[in-house]
Structure 1
Amino acid sequence: MDERRGLVVGHVQSGKTASYTGLICKAADAGYTVVIVLAGLHSNLRSQTQLRLDEGFLGYDSASESRGGGRQHIPLGVGRIDPELRPDTITTRLERGDFSRRVANNFAINPGRQPLLFVVKKNARVLKNLLDWVLWAANDREKETGRRLVSGVPLLVIDDEADHASVDTKEQPRDENGAFDEEHDPTRINGLIRRILFAFEKSAYVGYTATPFANIFIHEQGRTAEHGEDLFPRSFIVSLPVPSNYAGPARVFGLAETADRETLPPLPLIRHVPDEESGGWVPPKHRNGHRPRWRGGDDVPPSLEAAIRAFVLVCAARRARGRRGVHNSMLVHVTRFTAVQKEVKRQVEAALGDIGRRLRHGTAGGDPVRLALRRLWEEDFLPTTDEVVRVMRDPALPPLAWGLIEPELANAAADIRVMEINGTTGDALAYEEHKATGLNVVAVGGDKLARGLTLEGLSVSYFLRATRMYDTLMQMGRWFGYRPGYLDLCRLYTTTELAEWFGHIAEAGEELRGEFERMATVGGTSRDYGLKVQSHPTMLVTSRVKMRHGTEMRLSYAGTVSETTVFDTGAGVRRRNLAATGRLLARLGPPTPHRKRDNVLFWPDMQAATVLEFLDAFATHPEAPKAHSGLLRQFIQAQNAIGELTEWSIAVLPGGEAPVRLASFDVPMVRRACKPGTEQAPAAGRYVVRRLLSPRDEGLDLDEAAWRQALADTVEGWERAGGEATGRDRPAMPSGEGFRKSRSRNRGLLLIYPLNPSAAGGGVPFVGIGLSFPSSDSARTVSYRVNNVYWQQELEDAA
């Protein structure tokens, strides 16, 4: 048997279908005869995938039939390039065009024939019918077992959304030697996929997903006699590069600086939904049959009304930019229950209808809705366009004066339809049928909108559906993708908590992609390169049953920087931290003048005991596990025990604000704005900033030689990553990783920042701290979920 198992990691709504269409074409050129695409759980997603493969691989409309019953091969897409290349297909783009034994029996699996395409749902009945047909059409038998086998006909299986429904979630028994039970019965869909692969002498399985968390936790040794190998991507994992014009999680929510990257600020597209609105209208833990009510009335809450108005403005603005006849979509995803979705749809229709009537019949100058739309445009959309143009450097986003928007409003609102997208209604997103005129739609839904399905021209999203699993939550983010000519008009309305969760998942996802890239750099595969995903105190990486073969580990602070970015707004905590800082500075005595930055208060060559005493008195927020004063203290003590981190440099970094008294020093405070999307957090007892440190601050304690070495290491890393091909200029300053690599193991750096409290409503100043740790071979740890390969390597290293 010749079997390969691989995984391609893309980004949500980034063009994975285009990628595997290209892979299918190359595989067909290389001799793969049968191609099976597993295209999600729902018929509309399967149909959408078939449509794209009609254009990109088949070259004709799979649904067109001649009067005699045979297919009328009307050229499409690649079919217009070379109409002689005609793969066959057993499935069609119709909603009911999934696999059919009746149609399939007209075909055979033979070596040397034209490629044969199947685009099927991940549905047990469909896959069982497909397996039965494959075994019926098999042309050989395996000598050892006598089982039916397809030989001489290579199979390629593309598993779209490979982390969804394909992973075996059953407990897998083992014998006394740790080997898996050969008679194990896996979950139905996983078992059928594996049996189809196992029926071919030569097969390749390639999973595609933007959220590979579940896939890396498949056990690498999983196998049964009936099903063959499990779907662990043992042969390769490829991380697709992200184009510069893609607005994904990292771009929308931003990324903090790490050892491997610079800070990426978020785009100003997130709008906060107050907790009282999300909890009072459709609470997070509502039941089926819940009736959405806002303050007792049968109305949408103010934030959803604002989102609907924003969508009307988007449709008008795109018309004003000359983009008439294009699709425009708005997403409303607040519940999984179809009965509640029906109520939400009705309320959205009422709100939209009221806007439309007022625009048609209201007075041009004094109508409240028209005035609200103008205020929203001038106070929100125009400044956002300016900022997005500055960040993205996109000249195709011209600002539009109100005089160009207002004439388009009435027609824009009149064209919008509200649809309920679930399995109980006849509503369908028929974008193809409205290709000439454009479809303007508010899509109200739940699970059908949660994964895979593309909302064309999606600009405004209203999202309150909470889940604590990384992969499920990220896949619900339909707002990621390409937004040519209207990225500045896009908006995401969600809660502060959900925005923070998305930001954490974006960080964890980027870190995992970095692992994939390092694995590729050293020429490794997931068979021999262990993988890990950063954990979260209140979220799950994926469902527990998908992580059966994962292990929770705490990994080291060594070689990292820890900084406070979440602060308790309680006045008592603030006073405690100011007092602890004052006592520290009084104990340190007169500072040493810094050789380059004369405004910094700097004390080199301090003992670890001084830092430990300070951390013991300093209070950090419980939701900041990376900067927890207790854990930091334990880590330093553990390193002290082996002769590391025994000496410290301490620096107080002043800003440009009013001074605060710390011991005998008047230190100008630093200003840090609230992290976007958390502006209301201070009212809930939290003040959240994106970054506390400035990158260059980590080099404060290095001498000239160490600084030059840090820069050399940074430039070397830039060159190793591709140099100018990465789109970044040659570094002129060391990275944080470069600074930390150049610091000796016995030295740490404590940075202290007095913060102006105005961003959190004023009152007592805050104190932020950052600790920069050198690299080390031993350390206490940050919590990660690691896969079995990683865990076994840890055990081997410890042996």
Structure 2
Amino acid sequence: MTHTQSGVLLDIHTSALAGMGSMPRHFERWAALAADDHHPDADLSEELFRSLLVDGDDALAALWSRHLTAWDFAEDPQWGAGSQARTDERRAVVYERLRFGTGLRKVLDEVVPVAQMPGATVITRDFTPWYTAERAAARSFYWTAYEQKLRDKGWPDAAIASLDQASRAVVERLTDPEQPSARQAKGLVVGYVQSGKTANFTGVAAKAIDAGYRLVIVLGGTLNLLRAQTQRRLDMELIGQENILRGADVMDIDSLVGVDYVGDDEDWPEFVRHGGRPSTLGAFDIERLTTRDNDYKSLSQGIRALEFEKRVPTRPLHDPANLHHAAARILVVKKNKAVLTKLVKDLKQIHGILGELPALIIDDESDQASVNTSDPKKWERGSTERTAINGLISKLLGLLPRAQYVGYTATPFANVFIDPGDDMDIFPSNFLISLPRPAGYMGVQDFHDLDSPVPVEERTYANSQEKAHVRGIYESTGDRLQEAMDAFVLSGALKLYRADHGVPDAAFRHHTMLAHESVRQDDHADLALRINSMWHQAGYSSAVGHARLAALWEADFAPVSSAQASGLPSPPSYDELRPYVHSARQRIGSGGQPVIVVNGDTDRYFDQLDLDFDRTPNVWKILVGGTKLSRGFTVEGLTVTYYRRTTQQADTLMQMGRWFGFRPGYRDLVRLYIGREEPFGRDKFVDLYEAYEAVCRDEETFREQLAQYAVLVDGQPQVAPAQIPPLVAQHLPWLKPSARNKMFNAELVEIRSPGRPIEPASYPLNSAVTKRNTERWRPLLHALNTTPVAFSNPPDNSSTLTRTFTALTGIVTHGELLSVLSQLEWDRPRYFDPHLAYLRQLDGTLAQVDDWLLVSPRLTSDKRVDASVLGSAPLSLVRRSIQAGKSSFGRIASVEHRTAAQRLIDKAATGGSTQIGSGTGVALVYPVVEGSSFGSVQSAVHNGTADSSKIVMAFTLIPPRSAASGDRRLVRFRAKNSRFMDDATVPITASP
């Protein structure tokens, strides 16, 4: 087929797909209609279509990738026949509607595989649907431009479709900007640390202004630098050149006075171009009331800048006749009392129109300028700055009755969410949206072997994220600072090598290392001086220095890159890399200063640093800092992190996770040097790595809970946003409404877990209580047989080997188990009650559970300690540590044990188990000694008998799948005060 014929077919397919609108239809008919006028003789056969795809017609493949992916991601479309988004079943529905044959389906699946990734999790109150696919398609000027910009930046179709759906989930829960009555909606969007939240709220802003929102206020950080970065991002990817120029001629210097970017920003050519002023193209203009260099100021041209002209003066602004012809205004303002006070003052001078104005307030880092949730005492005291900012946001909401508030955060436990008592005006009472982990993102799963079934001794650079990226700093290994700096130089050389061998070098523009040892500014100066001295003594141009780098290359970087990034160019030897080491050293040491200290929190401080990653061509430096780097300020190109604390402090763990983010082209080069506790040590230091993992597990568990409870039952939500705080309190017990005269109104009554693990972790460590709890386990411990039973897990994606372990087992009735669980005391009163409420119904009220298989696993470690507990057969004692800053353990059951137990439950549900019946649950039982050192276990045993005051009998229960209710609800709440059903908090003194 000729190139011209291929182009003709592409035109026909493009027209046919465009004609279908938002749903797949009989493709042959639509293609025939598209070809009829100009190409009546075109070959529209599936055979030709299939052969072009097989031969690598990129344009045709790209066209179908966009449309198939969009249909794959569509949430609950009317044409979807009940299929779930991003599944093979959905794709099959699409093919059926297109009437495609088997051969073409197979080729399309190979060219455009289904992106089987999770969607956004939405916890919501009921809302009136208004943002339909048809309405979104009818007005999509700025969203279409933004979508194309992302495609030009190299975003894959699946990532764009995911953003499309996630941003739609926000916009559709806002109020219809055209509706006659005024109503506010408030929500929270939870992303991951440095995972692209800005992209989401840019998409939300694009869709919102297309839909009719005419005032958008973005609260963009507490520093001018951060505010300017947000402004630039919106200007570049959403607002565009024509709106910035406002008619100015780029060739006329005089007309460019006061216009930012032109002439001083090398990326100006990359700013979105609409092809003309949007108002001349059938859309509407966007007027900026802030610029890159200027935050909001009292309007020099008077209040007219905020006046909205009406095409039909007798109708309100929100009437469609006026709304879609009015220009939109966008402000990106700093979260600063003086700035927000000016804005509030100016808005107060506008009379009448504010009640008609659909407005959107986007609060980036919505828990910033607020208390530190890792410090309960500070949290309880409150914060003057937080009160001032929240008060001004509340005033904005009061002045704008049609304003919608959407907060963005990377912390699921953000106090703006969990602390509704602090300021009810911005509590996300309407929706909470948890964004999915985006493709290409390096997060906790990429630095920790969470739930990996691969035994520690079998882990390699290929199957272990910890081995690939984490380098522990132990007392016995020294501080490893020189090695970390060598890794920084070496990884920089590898980036330059890759840029020279075909890898786009845009991702390598910046190259940074972060060193953090203390929160004290004096310590930062000392560390910076030390690193400077080490740099000048490192000898990177000497034989000694090259020998050291060559050894690190051979032992570390070469094997990791081979295992993790075999598709990227890699030098065959260090000699090939050596010239690039010289270039990397020159870049890092430019100006004679390889180190920059970043520990201030004022605009003046950051101005003198000259550390603007957007406007500086190349930042190749080692940054030394503390908590000032922890919020909002993104360290671009971060490749090596040196994070070491020498005390028991663990207060900034989540905020200091700067090693998370997107690392295109160099994720295999990322290294985390982090403080570790010596194996079997004396608990002298906090194991920062394990502490961080524990905090991240809490977050992931909470996200999993949200996803589980977000499933609609009979079309209704199981959980409303106001009912989430009690779930959060399961993880962080000290959280409570800050106002002492308020309490959470929602009380968690029951958690149902058919076929799912129940694993409490908040055990009391008081020796007297521990001893009482252990004594209560006596009848169950004596039910364990003395002969070990073998369990196995077959090979899977993580291991080609069958993994086995042995355990003591026994069968007890449901009543016997429930009798013990009902007597247990917990670190927090009523902590286990929601689970007990469920378990008590499994005697036939909710579903019948006959009995439980007790499983007490035996450890295989050489350091294993077996001991009798209250006269039982010898049991393997296990070590578990209390999470840093909390009162609970991390995970109790090991991955292999829980996997085996889950397999028993799953097989029993389908009648495939010979070990247990469909009415039997599994209880993993562990005699736990608190502490991370081997000595703590030894001290709990005397003459083969465990001291019951030092043994915490911990457990994980997996009820049978049959233990489910007919209504399929997994949680049940009750309101403490029924007069305030929709309120997150109520006055303690309020009578029911």
| Band the TM-score falls in, shorter-chain normalisation | 0.5 to 0.7
Q: What's the counterpart of residue 894 of structure 2? A: 691
> How much has 1:185 moved relative to structure 2?
13
Structure-2 residue corresponding to 1:319: 496
Matched residues in 1 for 2:905 and 2:536: separation? 65
Residue in 1 that maps onto 2:42: none
Look up the match of 2:420: 219
Q: Which residue of 2 aligns with 1:588?
A: 785
Give the distance between the partners of 2:214 and 2:235, measured in 1 at CA: 17
**2:207 equivalent to 1:26:** yes
User: Aligned-pair distance for 1:694?
Assistant: 3.8
Following TM superposition, by how much is the alpha carbon of 1:373 offset from its aligned partner in structure 2, in angstroms? 2.4
Match of 2:389 among 189, 210, 214: 189
8 Å contact kept, 1:91–1:99: yes
CA distance 1:32–1:374, shift in 2 (3 Å): same
Cα deviation for residue 638 of structure 1 reads 12
- The whole-number CA distance in structure 2 between the counterparts of 1:114 and 1:637 is 56
Separation in structure 2 between the aligned mates of residue 760 and residue 532 of structure 1, nearest angstrom: 36
Match of 1:139 in 2: 351
Tell me the equivalent position of 1:129. Answer: 342
Residue 445 of structure 1 and its aligned partner are, at CA, apart by: 2.4
Residue identity in the other structure for 2:554: E
Distance across 1 between alignment mates of 2:812 and 2:926: 15
Q: Offset of 1:359 from its aligned partner?
A: 1.8
How many angstroms apart in 2 are the aligned matches of 1:560 and 1:594? 18
Change (3 A) 1:219 1:326: closer
Quote the Cα distance in structure 2 between the aligned partners of 1:465 and 1:118. Answer: 40
Any conservation in 2 of the 1:109–1:153 contact (CA below 8 Å)? no
Q: Distance in 2 between matches of 1:741 and 1:203?
A: 56
C-alpha distance in 2 between matches for 1:354 and 1:28? 57
* Displacement of 1:27: 1.2
Indicate yes or no: 2:623 matched with 1:462.
Answer: no
Counterpart residue number, 1:507: 697
Which range moves more in the overlay, 635-644 or 509-518?
Answer: 635-644
Change in CA separation of 1:342 and 1:742 when aligned onto 2, cut-off 3 Å: farther
Which among 244, 250, 254 is matched to residue 67 of structure 1? 254
Q: Which amino acid aligns with 1:79?
A: V
Cα gap change, 1:556/1:518 in structure 2, threshold over 3 Å: closer, same or farther? closer
Q: 2:224 aligns with which of 17, 34, 43?
A: 43
- Give, as a single letter, the amino acid of the residue that structure 2 aligns with 1:21: T
Q: Does residue 749 of the first structure (1) align with residue 929 of the second (2)?
A: no
Task: Quote the residue 2:707 is aligned against.
Answer: 517
Provide the secondary structure at the position in 2 that maps to 1:158.
strand
Which of 241, 263, 273 aligns to 2:436? It is: 241
1:274: how far off? 3.2
Deviates more, 1:514-523 or 1:475-484: 514-523
Deviations 1:159-182 (A, max 9, x none): 00012236899xxxxxxxxxxxxx
**Equivalent position SS for 1:151:** helix
Contact 1:87-1:114 at 8 Å conserved across structures = yes
1:209-232 CA-to-partner distances (Å, cap 9, x unmatched) read 111311322438965xxxxxx101
**1:458 Cα offset (Å):** 0.8
- State the alpha-carbon separation in 2 of the partners of residues 478 and 47 from structure 1: 21
AA matched with 1:160: D
Aligned to 2:669: 489
Match of 1:209 in 2: 409
Measure how far apart 1:51 and its partner are: 1.1
1:396 alignment partner in structure 2: 568
1:150–1:201 CA contact under 8 A, matched in 2 = yes
Q: Label 1:411 to 1:556 Cα distance change in 2 as closer, same or farther (>3 A).
A: same
Tell me the alpha carbon deviations over residues 103-126 of structure 1, each in whole angstroms, 9 at most, x when there is no partner: 463723315532111111101111
Q: How many residues align?
A: 657
Counterparts of 2:736 and 2:527 in 1: how far apart (Å)?
29
Name 1:79's counterpart in structure 2.
Answer: 272
Structure with the larger RCO, 1 or 2 (CA within 8 Å, 6+ apart): 1
Give, in angstroms, the shift of residue 485 of structure 1.
1.3
Write the deviation string for residues 514-545 of structure 1: whole angstroms up to 9, x where unpaired.
34334543253735643445569999669978
**TM-score normalized by structure 2?**
0.55
2:553: which partner in 1?
A: 377
CA distance in 1, matches of 2:700, 2:864: 38
Secondary structure of the residue that 2:356 maps to in structure 1? coil
Aligned equivalent of 2:482, options 283, 305, 326: 305
Contact 1:592 1:602 in 2 (8 A): yes
Deviation at 1:77, TM superposition (A): 4.3
| CA-to-aligned-CA distance 1:27-71 (integer Å, 9 cap, x gap) | 111111111110111111111111111111221396999535453
Inter-partner Cα distance in structure 2 for 1:88 and 1:692: 55
Q: Could you say what the CA RMSD is over the residues aligned between the two structures, in angstroms?
A: 5.8
Query: Which amino acid in structure 2 is aligned with residue 215 of structure 1?
Result: V
Counterpart selection for 1:605 from 811, 814, 818: 811
- Contact persistence 1:233–1:526 (CA under 8 A): no
State percent identity of aligned pairs.
Answer: 26
TM-score between the two structures when normalised by the length of structure 1: 0.66
Aligned partner (choices 357, 360, 366) of residue 153 of structure 1: 357
Residue 185 of structure 2 corresponds to 4
Aligned match of 2:287: 88
| CA distance, structure 1, for counterparts of residue 983 and residue 918 of structure 2 | 28
Q: Deviations over 1:328-384 (max 9, x none)?
A: 0111233444444333322222222222xx122x23xxx1x3333233222232333
The answer to whether the 8 Å contact 1:40/1:452 transfers is: yes
3-state SS of paired residue (2:526): helix
Q: Which residue of 2 aligns with 1:291?
A: none
Contact 1:161 1:207 in 2 (8 A): yes
Question: What does residue 285 of structure 1 align with?
Answer: none
One-letter identity of the residue aligned with 1:333: H
Contact kept in structure 2, 1:13 and 1:481, CA below 8 Å = yes
Query: Which runs of no fewer than 5 residues in structure 2 stay unpaired?
Result: 1-181, 263-267, 279-284, 310-324, 374-383, 454-458, 589-593, 677-686, 766-773, 795-803, 947-952, 966-972
3-state secondary structure, aligned to 2:612: coil
Helix, strand or coil at the partner of 1:512 = helix
Aligned to 1:477: 657
Paired amino acid for 1:530: I
Give the match for residue 724 of structure 1.
none
Taking the aligned partners of 1:104 and 1:168, their CA distance within structure 2 comes to: 40
SS at 2:186's partner residue?
strand
Of 530, 543, 552, the match for 2:724: 530
Contact 2:366 2:408 survives alignment (8 Å): yes
Deviation at 1:132, TM superposition (A): 0.9
The amino acid across from 1:196 in the alignment is L
Q: Distance in 1 between matches of 2:392 and 2:898?
A: 51
| Structure 1 residues 73 and 79: alpha-carbon distance in aligned structure 2, compared to 1, 3 A threshold | farther
User: Residues of 1 paired with 2:855 and 2:563: CA distance?
Assistant: 34
Read off the aligned partner of 1:134 and give its amino acid letter.
L
2:361–2:405 CA contact under 8 A, matched in 1:
yes
Matched letter for residue 428 of structure 1: D
Deviation at 1:447, TM superposition (A): 3.9
Give CA deviations for 1:276-304 in whole Å, capped at 9, x if unaligned.
99xxxxxxxxxxxxxxxxxxxxxxx7333
Following the alignment from structure 1 to structure 2, what is the Cα–Cα distance between the partners of residues 773 and 487? 37
Task: After TM superposition, give the deviation of residue 128 of structure 1 in Å.
Answer: 0.4
Amino acid at match of 1:420: V
Corresponding residue of 1:708: 910
Counterparts in 2 of 1:636 and 1:548: CA distance versus 1, 3 Å = closer
Question: What is the DSSP-based 3-state SS (H/G/I as helix, E as strand, rest coil) of the residue aligned with 1:588?
Answer: coil
Instruction: Report the secondary structure of 1:206's partner residue.
Output: strand
Secondary structure class of the residue paired with 1:406: helix
Over 3 Å counting, the alpha-carbon distance change for 1:486 and 1:760 in structure 2 is farther
Q: Distance in 2 between matches of 1:317 and 1:596?
A: 40
Q: CA separation of 1:553/1:471 partners in 2, compared to 1, >3 Å: closer, same or farther?
A: farther
- How do 1:543-562 residues align onto structure 2 when only pairs under 5 Å count? 559-562=756-759
Q: After TM superposition, list the pairs within 5 Å mapping 1:726-765 onto structure 2.
A: 743-744=919-920, 747-750=921-924
